[in-house]
């Protein structure tokens, strides 16, 4: 099995503060991970390593077989798809234009850049796949949050990445739009079987059905990592969030709620 991402004893300090403590983490091709943990756990920092954005203070990070610190990062990032619902687009680009910026790795369309016929065809395929064919020429400000989320997934995939990062992709979505986006992510698991993905969220309800593995992180340390059903137990989630939580898996979906204290029996 091909290793897509490998963190070995990674630590990270910022402004004299220790953020991560000895993180070990490996993602293989075709695996779909969720990264869960409370606010301040270090999830964003780990995702920065995955996206070849952040260098570790110590330890090693290999992304797509290349070690951070020994490779030109901009070139490496072109093989990584990144979905960020806070996409900082300022121009009223069309859906098609937004998707095509995934080829240039920019937010705006570069001046004097023109896509090839093959690139236009690839963008059209993804726009159709993600159910946006009727909105292809609509402009960004007119799109719903759900439509923007699907457009950003198409943008992330247009360069045929080996690794897809989804940073809280359901932020700001209502229940219907959230479910449509999760269905879209599950569709990718079937249409792109070799693609590895890492999804960051705070909520178990936001896990796609095709999630295969989980990384629980708290206070900069790994609480548990591995196959999703072995990791997302009430015991592990309670330990990560330091609050009694009951975890349930039913009909392919996860849920979590605060554990209720046992009621005293009446004599």
Q: What is the pLDDT of residues 6-18, one digit of tens each?
A: 999 999 999 989 9
Domains and CATH numbers, the chain: 3-79+161-258 (3.40.50.300), 92-160 (no CATH)
- Tokens at residue 47, please? 């995702």
Contacts of 143 (CB under 8 A, 6+ apart): 95, 135, 151
H-run or E-run covering 26? strand 17-28
Task: Give the pLDDT confidence score for residue 264 in this predicted structure.
Answer: 52
Does residue 80 contact residue 51 with C-beta atoms inside 8 Å?
A: yes
The 8-class DSSP code of residue 41 comes to S
What pTM does this model have? 0.88
What DSSP string describes 119-135?
Answer: HHHHHHHHHHHTT-GGG
Ordered alpha helix ranges (H), 35-158: 43-50, 73-77, 95-104, 117-129, 145-157
Q: Which of 28-42, 70-84, 163-177, 183-197 has the highest mean pLDDT?
A: 28-42
Does residue 171 contact residue 152 with C-beta atoms inside 8 Å?
A: no
Work out the average pLDDT over 61-71: 90
Residue with tokens 């090839």: 116
Q: Which of 220, 214, 256 is nearest to 238 (CA)?
A: 256
Task: Give the pLDDT confidence score for residue 53 in this predicted structure.
Answer: 87
Q: In what order do the strands lie in the sheet with 17-28?
A: 17-28, 3-14, 58-63, 66-67
SS3 165: strand
Task: Give the pLDDT confidence score for residue 261 in this predicted structure.
Answer: 67
């Amino acid at each position: 099995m091909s290793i897509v991402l490998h963190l070995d004893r990674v630590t990270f300090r910022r402004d004299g503060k220790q953020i991560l403590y000895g993180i070990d983490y490996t993602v293989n091709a075709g695996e779909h991970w969720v990264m869960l943990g409370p606010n301040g756990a270090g999830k964003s920092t780990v995702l920065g390593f995955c996206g070849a954005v952040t260098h570790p203070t110590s330890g090693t990070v290999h992304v797509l077989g290349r070690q951070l610190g020994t490779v030109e990062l901009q070139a490496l990032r072109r093989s990584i798809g990144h979905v960020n619902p806070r996409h900082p687009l300022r121009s009223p680009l069309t859906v098609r234009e937004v998707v095509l910026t995934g080829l240039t790795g920019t937010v705006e369309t570069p001046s004097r850049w023109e896509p090839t016929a093959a690139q236009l065809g690839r963008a059209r395929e993804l726009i159709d796949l993600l159910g946006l064919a009727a909105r292809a020429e609509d402009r960004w400000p007119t799109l719903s949050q759900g439509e923007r989320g699907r457009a950003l997934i198409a943008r992330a995939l247009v360069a045929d990445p080996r690794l897809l990062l989804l940073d809280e992709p359901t932020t700001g979505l209502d229940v219907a739009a959230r479910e449509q986006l999760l269905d879209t992510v599950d569709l990718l698991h079937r249409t792109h079987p070799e693609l590895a993905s890492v999804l960051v969220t705070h909520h178990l309800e936001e896990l796609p059905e095709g999630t295969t593995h989980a990384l629980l992180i708290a206070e900069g340390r790994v609480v548990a990592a591995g196959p999703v059903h072995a990791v997302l137990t009430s015991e592990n989630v309670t330990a990560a969030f330091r609050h009694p939580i009951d975890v349930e898996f039913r009909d392919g979906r996860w849920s979590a709620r605060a554990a209720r204290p046992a009621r005293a029996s009446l004599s």
